[in-house]
Amino acid sequence: MGSFGVANDIKKQIRHSKRKVQMWMSKFRAVKPGKAVLVVAGSPKLEVYETDFGWGKLELIRAVIQGIVNFWMGIFPLLQSVLDRINASCRNFLWGKADIGKNKPLVAWNKLIFEDYQFSLLSIYMAHQISQEPLKILEQCRVTPKPGSVPSTTLPLTFFDVPFFFSPPFKRIFFYEFPHPTLYFLQTTLPILKHSLSLTLQHFFPFSSNLIVPPQQPHLSHIRYLDGDSLSFTVAESTADFTLLTSHSPQDAQNWHPLVPTLPSPLVEQDGTRVFPLMAIQVTVFPNSGFTMCLTFHHIATDGKSLHHFIKFWASLCKAKGNLASSLETSLSLPSHERDIVKDPKGLKLNYFQELEHHESRSVEFAGLVGDVFTNTVRYTALLTHEQVEKLKKWVSIKCASYTDGTVHISTYMVLCSLFWVCMIRSEESKSNSVAQNNDEDEVCYLLIPADCRHRPEFSLPSTYFGNCLATCFVAMKKSELVGENGIVGVANAIERLIRDLKNDPLRTVETAMPEFKQFGKSTLIVSGTPKFSVYQTDFGWGKPKKSFAAYIESSGWICLSDCRDEKGGIEVALTHERIRMNRFITIFEEQLHNINKF
């Protein structure tokens, strides 16, 4: 034994290994900085394709080749020609073909790898890009109407507002192209945005107000504005890929979370009164690419019609550089805040608050109305051209005529709700192939549709009324009816009857809204938005938005309709699903459109 009890042969091995390490280190030092170096890893002797756990070649392709591709896509985009070559190699390995250019496979390659490939390459790359670039907050401030321009005001809640008492915040985001540096935006554009917003809040002051909830007396809740009240305004910078974020391809729903502001936490006054802010705005700059504006607001303040009135008023003022007279002459009228004209002869407001006092009713916080929120959700915007919409309406009209005796009024809104509801139900994964073993086919599904009541003679409200004025209607159908051959036609007929009943008695649905919320389960689809909001006509002076969507669509329980940016009469429909289900939905949706186009 030598010193420290180490055997001589071991010492020799250590000295030999040390010399090898020193030799390798000298070789690495010889590589000059900036020189291209290729590192070769792996070996054919590893025989990775002989590793079969029983799942066959397809699973090996998914696990090995696509895993490698996904890894490198997380670092930098691969050329399409490279991806095509990888696909060809995998395809021919699967079918045992030696020649890439010959012999068609038995099954379309995209059908085999659609579930992983379409989403994984793009969404993993996007998620990596965004997660690697944290948001930089440039400014956090408050924007208020000009001091003294708005008197202290109290607005009572109406029975239209109360159903949204426990509603989560709603969010709308706009993307605008702006090929200039951040500093240029901060110096030239931001001041105009803030100034025009301050002027706009003089007329839309509820958004800078607070919801006041007295202790133990929620029925006395109201909206209060005091001189100096303001809304939260955040300015941030992001180096995420603006082009990827504004594409219509399926994308990870979490990609936009950094762009969405949160409402400030409520305050509690000395007597226990809770004070809830009603709006927050965030502007995020993408240097030399564009910027986003996202508005988060509490639905108890107003509905979508009033929100877009506010946004377009702000946009018009901004475009006019703050010239209110010029803006009013060429664009929009002022809002009406006359809450006392909303009559409540049946005492619905008090009844609604009594319903909310029950713990079960607090689930109207929409925990039960919105579908499950998954961590791996994918947001997708379906685009329908004007021609596709007209073919769909014609197809539904002909089908309805063969099943009903009377005349059915066919609208764009009706056929879109019917198509998407049926496709979404069909995309649900069946838990069992046997109806006898599973009563899933007998499950009742619900479609919730909001209807604007401003024009109804029973209410006689001006079109500029600021606040909620929605009657929530619903269609109930068994899942077996929806997935059947005539599912779309059945839904269209049900919606047509619902609209007819609403015209005859709009208060009927309003009276029963709160109690009926309790019966809705997770098989409920809520329709929000309408092409009539014309979101792509929101021009702040930089042209129409590159993209706009409802950022609150975070679960499978919602769809949102809007006009189309690039085609008059076209429609965009935004939805969110868990990844695998989104694959099924897109396949079913495209097949349905294909069948309708052939009709």
> Which residues are marked as active site?
299, 539
Q: Do 519 and 482 meet the contact criterion of CB atoms below 8 Å apart?
A: no
Beta-bridge partners for 139: 235
Euclidean distance between CA atoms 142 and 59, whole angstroms: 55
Q: Do 100 and 92 meet the contact criterion of CB atoms below 8 Å apart?
A: yes
Q: Do 135 and 284 meet the contact criterion of CB atoms below 8 Å apart?
A: yes
Nearest residue to 443 (alpha-carbon basis) of 523, 519, 367: 523
Tell me, what DSSP letter sits at residue 62?
I
Burial class (CB in 10 A: 0-12, 13-18, 19+), 556: buried
Total length of the chain: 599
Q: Do 160 and 472 meet the contact criterion of CB atoms below 8 Å apart?
A: no
As given in the structure block, the two tokens for residue 331 are 């664009």
Tell me, what DSSP letter sits at residue 61?
I
Whole-Å CA distances, 71 to 63, 67, 430, 568: 12, 6, 33, 41
Nearest residue to 476 (alpha-carbon basis) of 463, 464, 494: 494
Residue with tokens 């890009």: 129
Q: Count of alpha carbons within 13 Å of 460, Cβ hemisphere only?
A: 6
As given in the structure block, the two tokens for residue 153 are 């005001």
As given in the structure block, the two tokens for residue 349 are 């407001």
Which string of b and e fits 37-64 if b means at least 16 CB within 10 Å? eeeeeeeeeeeeeeeeeeeeeeebbbee
With residues binned 3-state (H G I as helix, E B as strand, rest as coil), the percentages for the chain, rounded to 5, are 45, 20, 35
Euclidean distance between CA atoms 260 and 250, whole angstroms: 19
Residue with tokens 């030092």: 29
Q: Residue 114 — φ and ψ, nearest 5°? A: -55, -45
Geometric angle at alpha carbon 194, from 534 and 234, rounded to 5°: 90
Geometric angle at alpha carbon 479, from 475 and 482, rounded to 5°: 70
Geometric angle at alpha carbon 555, from 551 and 559, rounded to 5°: 65
| Sheet hosting strand 470-478, strand order edge to edge | 251-252, 377-384, 571-578, 558-563, 524-529, 444-452, 470-478
> What distance separates the 2 farthest-apart alpha carbons in the chain?
106
3-state secondary structure 200-260: HHCCCHHHHCEEEECCCCHHHCEEEECCCCCEEEEEEECCCCHHHHCCCCCEEHHHHHHHC
